[in-house]
Amino acid sequence: MHSEYHASLDLDIFIHHTAEALSLTKRFIGEEPYCPVTSVYNKCIKKILPPAGIEAVEIPRIKTAKDNSKRIKSTITVKRNK
């Protein structure tokens, strides 16, 4: 998959340049249940960074009533358009 390949390239740069230069040992990422590209990137982070000595910390998305209503409206719109 292309997005996994690009994520691994990006993470290689992060590990060998950014993290090394700044002595980083943790990378914080936000939970992403809606965007497939960001979801793939987060999975790659969790797989690639720990063996390099960098902990991947996923921050849960804050759920609000407004978020739930947006999801419901989107689902209804998609179903109506099918």
Rounded Cα distance, 45 and 54, in Å: 9
Phi, psi of 39 (to 5 degrees): -60, -45
| Cα-based angle 66, 68, 70 (whole degrees, multiple of 5) | 70
pLDDT, residue 33, reads 83
Q: Render pLDDT for 5-57 as a digit per residue (tens, 0 to 9).
A: 999 999 999 999 999 999 999 999 998 888 889 999 999 999 999 999 999 99
pLDDT number for residue 1: 59
Q: What is the pLDDT of residue 67?
A: 63
The residue with greater pLDDT, 68 or 34, is 34
Domain boundaries, the chain: 2-81
